[in-house]
Amino acid sequence: MDKVYTRPKSLKKAVFHYCPGCGHSVVHRLICEVIDEMNLQEQVIGIPPPGCSVFAYHYFDVDMAESAHGRGAAVATGIKRAYPEAIVFTYQGDGDLAAIGTAETIHAANRGERITAIFINNAVYGMTGGQMAPTTLLEQKTTTTPYGRDIKLEGYPIKISEMLALTKGAVYIERTAANSPANIRKTKKAIRKAFQTQIDDLGFSLVEILSPCPTNWRMTPIEAWQWIDKVMTKEYPLGVIKDITGKQDAD
Amino acid sequence: MAKVLMTGNAAIGEAAIRAGCQCYFGYPITPQNELTEYMATHLSRRKGCSFIQAESEIAAINMVYGASLAGARTMTSSSSPGISLKQEGISYLAACELPAVIVNMSRGGPGLGSISAAQSDYFQATRGGGHGDYRTIVLAPSSVQELADFTHYAFDLADKYLIPVIILGDGMLGQMMEPVEFKHEAPQELPVRSRALRGAKGRPSRIIKTFTSKPAELEEINWSLFRRYQLIKKHETTFETFMTDDAKLIVVAFGIAARIAKGAIKTARANGLKVGMLRPITLWPFPSEKVQELAKSVKQYLVFEMNMGQMIEDVQLALGGNGEVSFYGRPGGVIPTPSEVYKVISRLYYQKGLK
């Protein structure tokens, strides 16, 4: 009998600590599938962030190192510059990449660093207990916006991927979601393309993944999946935001 | 090699390249810009090397962290306010046992302060500086030649003990020009450090981290760090003594202040005052044992610093009441002259009845 579905080689045999319905475990698996299919396990160095996915190194069977909050793009830059043969990716949440690490992210993108960012947007700070993130939607209730996010007081949800697309060094940016079999397949394709962009030495690549956080959204996993479609994608439309991989040589 | 005339900042850059520094990440701040500029000119296009003018001090130190993870000899430099920003990254380097060299051409503080030379970052440098229990080796040069020599030494120490090493200079040392001789040629190739992250090829995958949900695990990491710190204290404490053999009064000073004090002590000797000097070269580890040894015969100490009194605490701790300590300090970037320090020495000498 043919085996059609198996644990990726680069995914360790460990039980995920993530909550039921969380998007992290799905995205971890997708990245590992891509690493296997592209035969990159011996080349990849991953930089997970502080946050729920700080323990990503317990799941990925590749070289990994912890990063200070928000500094993933700078750490990845240092690794890639010191050892360009590596395929370096950061795994970052919305608070990490779009709040405390905004400067590091924008400048790494603008320099066209040959690194790949996997950006998990779940519109809250997860591990710390569901506080407002820069990506929290208007009127969304969090522990630090108990009355709902009010533009007059808390400002607007930030569209960091669209901002990054304005930098010349960013060559591939796509927004996907981890909330349905179809979207999960598209996410995997985007991750593959992002890694390929790095392998082809073209510049900075990023995949933003709208990811469910049922615990902090106070929803069931199914409600969380539906909320991404009905509410989140209205603010953060899915699709390719920038792709100049076929149109130019490296800057 | 023949001597060349260089600024202190440029001498560090040349010495770093000759020590095999492959990656330099910096951010402009006075009075250390000549170093960043030297690396831009001489390192950025070198084969296998990388130079980035980072978007911030925080980014620069985290690039150092990344390059060190990948096994490169790496360095950053800044001056006091920038070094404050780098503390986050220095704490992570120390925690993850990653070697790096960090140069602080310190200036007057607190706050934005002044761009003139000061020694007010002693506490920050010798007490770890960032969050958590850790130490860094701190070297205090007092000439352009020492800036060059200690830079090379700093890379070796960092690799030997897997620890960040701070070179604590000051704006004056960085800016002044002196003849300097470089004793090493740049290596063709450096061996890859054994714990470097270079992809899990032919070995199991590797994790570099400290975060744990088990406090006992972190306690063991702290113990392990401090066992190494004990080793460093035992083997790497360095100092210079000057005319201490028959001294009745010993001046304790480091870095550029020691150089100023040396001039004052020469005048004192010419006037028949028996004054000597102890200059700690490693500020951490501090030469406490040498202080205790001197205290067997000398009871009067004058600590002279270009700050409001920071190293004096280490001198007092070392003496443990076994000697009398006076202090002279000029903070804020004021640079005292040798004759000014001589006046302090001679006044103290007579006040204490040493003549």
- Which residues in chain B have their CB less than 8 angstroms from residue A64's CB? 197, 205-209
Chain center to CA of A45: 15
User: What's the whole-number average pLDDT of chain A?
Assistant: 96
| Contact A13/B at CB under 8 A | no
How far is B324 from chain A, CA to nearest CA, in Å? 45
List, for residues A213-237, the tens digit of each pLDDT value. Answer: 999 999 999 999 999 999 999 999 9
What pLDDT was estimated at residue B4?
Answer: 97
Q: Say if domain B4-185+208-236 classifies as CATH 3.40.50.970.
A: yes
Res. A248 pLDDT band, cuts 50 70 90: low
| A82 with B22: Cβ contact below 8 A | yes
Nearest residue, CB atoms, A78 vs list B62, B198, B210 = B62
Q: Give CA–CA dist A172/A25, Å, rounded.
A: 24
Nearest residue, CB atoms, A65 vs list B56, B89, B197 = B197
Residue A250 has pLDDT above 50, yes or no: no
Residue A236 and residue A179 in contact, taking contact as beta carbons nearer than 8 Å = no
User: What is the CATH number that goes with domain B240-351?
Assistant: 3.40.50.920
- Which residues in chain A have their CB less than 8 angstroms from residue B207's CB? 57, 63-65
- Which sign does the torsion angle of CA B336, B337, B338, B343 carry? negative
ipTM: 0.96
Q: Which residue of B has its CA nearest to A81?
A: B50
Could you tell me what percent of chain A has a pLDDT over 70?
98
- Which residues in chain A have their CB less than 8 angstroms from residue B197's CB? 45, 63-65, 79, 83, 86
- How many pairs of residues across A and B have Cβ atoms under 8 Å apart? 141
Q: Give CA–CA dist B108/B110, Å, rounded.
A: 7
Question: Which residues of chain B carry a pLDDT beneath 50?
Answer: none
What pLDDT was estimated at residue A251?
Answer: 47
Domains, chain A, with CATH or none:
24-243 (3.40.50.970)
Residue A242 has pLDDT above 50, yes or no: yes
Mean pLDDT calculated for residue range A167-178:
98
Mean pLDDT calculated for residue range A180-201:
98
How far is B52 from chain A, CA to nearest CA, in Å? 9
Residue A52 has pLDDT above 50, yes or no: yes
Q: If residue B96 lies in a helix (H) or strand (E), which one and from where to where? A: none
Confirm whether B4-185+208-236 and B240-351 share one CATH topology.
yes
- Which residues in chain A have their CB less than 8 angstroms from residue B62's CB? 67-68, 71, 74-75, 78, 104
How far is B313 from chain A, CA to nearest CA, in Å? 32
What pLDDT was estimated at residue B188?
Answer: 84
- Helix B288-295, helix B311-319: angle, nearest 10: 50
- Which residues in chain B have their CB less than 8 angstroms from residue A111's CB? 52
How far is A229 from chain B, CA to nearest CA, in Å? 35
User: How is chain B split into domains, by residue range?
Assistant: 4-185+208-236, 240-351
Please name which of A175, A147, A186, A188 lies closest in space to residue A243, comparing C-alpha atoms. Answer: A175
- Which residues in chain B have their CB less than 8 angstroms from residue A78's CB? 23, 25, 62-70, 74
